[in-house]
Structure 1
Amino acid sequence: MPFDQLTLSRRAVFGNAALLGLGTAFAPHAALAKPAAAAASSAAFPSVTAFVDGYVAKRKVPGMLAMMGFGQRPATVIARGTEGFNDPDPETINTLYRVYSMTKPVTGMAAMMLIDAGKMSLDQPLSDILPKFAKMQVQVTPDGSITDLRPAKTPITIRHLLTHSAGLGYSIIQKGPIKAAYEAAGVIPGQVSKVAIPGLDRGKPVGSLALFADRLAELPLVYEPGTQWSYSVALDLMGRVIEVVSGKPFDVFLQERLFGPLGMSSTGFRVAPKDIHRLSTNYAVLAGTPIPIDPGEASIFADKPPFPMGGAGLVTSPHDYDRFLRMIANYGAIDGKRVMTERAIRTGTSNLLPPGASTKGTFANGAGFGAGGRVGLGDAAGTYGWGGAAGTVALVHLKYGLRGGLYTQYMPSEAYPVHADFPVAVMADLAAMAPARRKAA
């Protein structure tokens, strides 16, 4: 199969079906009624342990790490293998991973801070902040002609950006002339490798968030704002919104308001030279064989990125991302320190889709969407999270104080059923905990 078909499918690079099945797998269940305080070792999660062991033992990936926790208790860590097939360093909670679209919930929560502080509002027109988006044009036929256009009837709002309902495109999703226009304009918010790989190189990204926003404003929308959930560059554009509203560079805002207060000292858009040895190798799975495409110590993430990519740019560690999840699961507080207000967390993890917009028929089918992440509806209410294109996935279940993450590195995400099967393994373990708790009671 050609490499571009492997890496650029609708559910592969930077956007994927990371949480398909999450709503079912984490529906309310007796096993979640009162989390076990003894969940402190891999013995408490035999199904997840077997899941991780299987992938590493079969050499599908060189290493994999799962991190599960309840409330504010220390997480259970299940780590197997190494950071690369040719890297003997073991997988640990301090190993660095390219989390790609798991960046989106971070950007979403950063936006919620500004909304909560009254600096902007959910239904505020984007053009109030970025005037060039005042008079947008929409394709008459989505992914069709980029000259057959009509004026947008509805202004793009902050809510639309947070929920992928702004009508914006994505070069990894769109087809035809609009895809080519995005690439020609350098509106390419993602990077994978220093190596030129056919089908993967989509042009040269612009050199700043300001230019990214300006170029994007000149391109037509794919859909009428507020009418359709369509995976897009919206959270990358939100990075520019955050810059303008806060008066600080996007990456500085994240460091000062989230990463610093949360103790996420290994998280950023670039890996420092002193830390590059901790970066795992990323692989492309070709005909069932993992091929290195971004070796840890020769990674593209060692270089300064063209701009801080709020939709797919972060590198982090399981330790750090678990801190982010802990803060959300505890409604904005961690270690006795408040980082976000409870109101901001409750709003950001609720279904923010505008009336009429639906995920039906998309890879988020049946779900709602909050601040940069999928949210469960109905029986799955309380779940929030998203996944990354290189095999990572993370979630919280606010109702039960559950948080979980899975970390490995391979592309495309659908080469293995990790994103669908990980929640199933977690649910099996939670169900198994119930009898022990009833007996203890």
Structure 2
Amino acid sequence: MFDQAVDRRRFMGGSALLGGVLLAQPSWALSPAIPDPAIAATQALFDAYIADDRLPGAVGAIGRGTLAPNFAVRGKQGREAGALAMSPDSLFRMYSMTKPITGIAAMMLVEDGKLRLDQDVGDFVPGFRKPMVALDPVKSLDARPASKPLTIRHVLTHSGGLGYAIISKGALHDAFVHNGLASGAVSHMKLPGLDAIPPAPSLAAFAERLATLPLIADPDTRWSYSCGLDLMGHIIEQASGMEFEAFLRKRIFQPLGMTSSWFQVPTSELARMTTNYGILGTARAPIDPGATTIFADKPALKLGGSGLVMSPRDYDRFLQMLAGFGAIGRVRVMREATARLAMSNLLAPGVDTSGTFAAGQGFGAGGRVRITPNGLGEGVGTYGWGGAAATVAWVDPSTKFRASGFAQYMPDSAMPFTKDFSRTVYTSL
């Protein structure tokens, strides 16, 4: 049972749980779409994490179909004096939860006829026209020709053999560092275990340099977490003729009313920024304070795999659109068939996912797709992903609900917050 000792009257200056009914909630806290017990259970989970100082605060969003969400909100944006209360509009580092957004953006271009799923990436980055595969990427960059071309499908689903600075080891890892193929911003501080990688000067340079490195496996053979969605940012620029962020803003953020989504947080919005904590054993320390966050700096690279900062309200709007198969109400950003394809298993038959984040499951455009039941009630066809600073989000078409949970600490494996959130949501519903 979760520890419920924290006095809930501290939340929003006076909300309370009485007889299973939430009282004195702010206007954003409750809609008829989700039963009260789901929000109460999620808030109790957050209370337990705050009570023993594992977290300063957390936010969760749960919605039915495309109806308005309920928000579970507890605690503060950081432990520092004067930290503001958490809210649905607090700002969180999405890290890899950027990937589904980039994947959906690419699928919009597939719908437009400007990309094809099985199109050769070499059409956009000439260096990939004849991909090579490393004989042993830990020992050297010696390589042989790949058995087939690298395609858009491979890049979207991590099935093309691309490496990643945070995954690769030995010679290939060193080549990622040498070429400035950074995997994301974390802190202004030098942190143990994290490479200080001066990033490539542009997405174009990132793509061109990446194309000089060998793959770790032939396309369609192994699932391996990769920088593919970072590469996709450049491909989107090439295919659309627009700067990557401008494309996201025009085709996704603006039509969906996502007004708190940035690669660089404006100075005027820094008060909403949460603090990110590093955890080593029992020690917890702020590694990116909200007021001085590295995400207030102009990014050298707007990485489609890790670069966005967003509010829970905004990310839920993205999930609402997916739950509506491309639309929220009268606002449609992609055709239903495209949305369903994007959230389906796009992996080729025979791709080995064993021992990976996608083990036993499928993968769509930037997010995992459940193809077998997990015992918690998560439906087959559920699409979503998580982020490195303990965030998670998904859409479950079979049960017609969506959910997202937000904390801020690294590594996310230091505590089971995202797993606890997911389990709590499903058991309470």
Matched, 1:170 2:164: yes
Residues 277/191 of structure 1: CA separation in 2 closer, same or farther (3 Å cut): same
Is 2:337 the partner of 1:343?
Answer: yes
Aligned twin of 2:133: 138
1:275-424 → structure 2 map (5 Å cutoff): 275-379=269-373, 380-424=379-423
CA distance in 2, matches of 1:340, 1:240: 21
Question: TM-score if structure 2 supplies the norm length?
Answer: 0.89
Q: Which amino acid aligns with 1:118?
A: G
Q: Aligned to 2:262, what secondary structure does the other structure show?
A: coil
Displaced runs of 4 or more, over 3 A: 36-46
| 1:375 and 1:382 in contact (8 A); partners too | yes
What residue in structure 1 maps to residue 185 of structure 2? 191
The answer on whether the counterparts of 2:34 and 2:70 sit within 8 Å (CA) in structure 1 is: yes
* 8 A contact 1:64–1:81 mirrored in 2: yes
**2:91 aligned partner:** 96
Query: 2:145 is matched with which residue: 151, 160, 185?
Result: 151
Q: Secondary structure at the match of 2:83?
A: strand
CA–CA separation in structure 1 for the residues paired with 2:137 and 2:41:
43
- CA offsets, 1:77-121, max 9 Å, x none? 110000000143000000000010000000000000000111111
SS at match of 1:215: helix
Matched residue type, 1:106: I
Match of 2:26 in 1: none
Which digits, 9 at most, give the CA deviation of each residue in 1:12-62, with x for residues without a partner? xxxxxxxxxxxxxxxxxxxxxxxx984557544333222111111111111
Question: Structure 2: which 5+ runs fail to align?
Answer: 1-29, 374-378
SS of match in other structure, 2:76: strand
Which protein, 1 or 2, shows the higher relative CO under an 8 Å CA cutoff with sep ≥ 6?
1
| Shift, 1:324, TM fit | 0.1
1:65 alignment partner in structure 2: 59
Letter in 1 for 2:396: H
Which residue pairs with 2:251 in the alignment?
A: 257
Please tell me whether the aligned partners of residues 42 and 78 of structure 1 are also in contact (alpha carbons under 8 angstroms).
no
SS at match of 1:45: helix
Q: Distance in 2 between matches of 1:99 and 1:185?
A: 24
**Which position in structure 1 is the counterpart of 2:122?**
127
CA-to-aligned-CA distance 1:291-322 (integer Å, 9 cap, x gap): 10000010100001111100000000001000
Q: Residue 226 of structure 1 contacts residue 356 of structure 1 at CA under 8 Å; is this kept in 2?
A: yes
Listed one character per residue, the Cα deviations across residues 113-168 of structure 1 (whole Å, up to 9, x for unaligned) are 00011111111111122211111211112433212x11112100000001001111
Deviations 1:235-282 (A, max 9, x none): 000000000000011111001101111111110101001001110000
TM-superposed CA distance for 1:201, in Å, is: 3.0
Question: 1 CA distance for matches of 2:221 and 2:61?
Answer: 37
Q: Is the 8 A contact 1:47 1:428 kept in 2?
A: no
Alpha-carbon distance in structure 2 between the residues aligned to 1:334 and 1:277? 29
Paired position in structure 2 for 1:208: 202
Provide structure 1 residue ranges, at least 5 long, that are not aligned to the other structure. Answer: 1-35, 431-441
Structure 2 equivalent of residue 77 of structure 1: 71
Q: Secondary structure at the match of 1:393?
A: strand
- CA distance in 2 between partners of 1:378 and 1:348 (Å): 18
Residue pair 1:280, 1:295 contacting (<8 A) in 2 also: yes
Label 1:201 to 1:42 Cα distance change in 2 as closer, same or farther (>3 A): farther
Report deviation, 1:195: 1.1
Greater CA deviation, 225-234 or 360-369? 360-369
Deviation sequence 1:318-373 (CA, Å, 0-9, x none): 01000000000011111321111101110000000122213122122111000000
Structure 2 residue matching 1:210: 3-state secondary structure:
helix
What letter is aligned with 1:374? R
Q: Aligned with 1:89: secondary structure?
A: coil
CA 1:37–1:92 in structure 2 vs 1: closer, same or farther (change >3 Å)? closer
In the other structure, the counterpart of 1:17 is none
Partners of 2:54 and 2:188 lie apart in 1 by 23
Amino acid of the structure 2 residue aligned with 1:200: L
RMSD of aligned Cα (Å)? 1.5
**Number of aligned positions between the proteins:** 394
Q: Please, which moves more after superposition, 285-294 or 322-331?
A: 285-294
Q: Which residue of 2 aligns with 1:270?
A: 264
